[in-house]
Amino acid sequence: MTQKEAIKRHLEAGRTITPLEALHEYGTIRLGAHIHELRKEGMNVRTRMIRSFNGKSYAEYSLAKE
């Protein structure tokens, strides 16, 4: 299974994913690129920006509810 397929299954299971989770669970630092490809394939992926305790922001991705 490719990293993109694993991320797709992760989202389809109703879970959210962040870049750090993608690195730890699937060994990819290219989560944004995989999300872009999934969107091109028709997946309705939602992005939520989260501000961490130190003021930095990161994306959390999930499937939008139909």
Tell me the pLDDT tens digit for each residue of 14-63: 999 999 999 999 999 999 999 999 999 999 999 999 998 899 999 999 99
CATH code: domain of residue 41: 1.10.10
Does the pLDDT value for residue 3 go beyond 70? yes
Does the predicted model carry a pTM greater than 0.85? yes
Upper half-sphere CA count for residue 44 (Cβ side, 13 Å): 3
How many domains would you assign to the chain?
1
Backbone angles phi, psi at 28, to 5 degrees: -120, 140
Nearest to 61 by CA among 39, 42, 40, 52: 39
Does the pLDDT value for residue 2 go beyond 80? yes
Domain that holds residue 42: 3-63
Q: How many other C-beta atoms can be found within 10 angstroms of the C-beta atom of residue 34?
A: 22
Indicate the pLDDT class of residue 65, thresholds 50, 70 and 90. Answer: confident
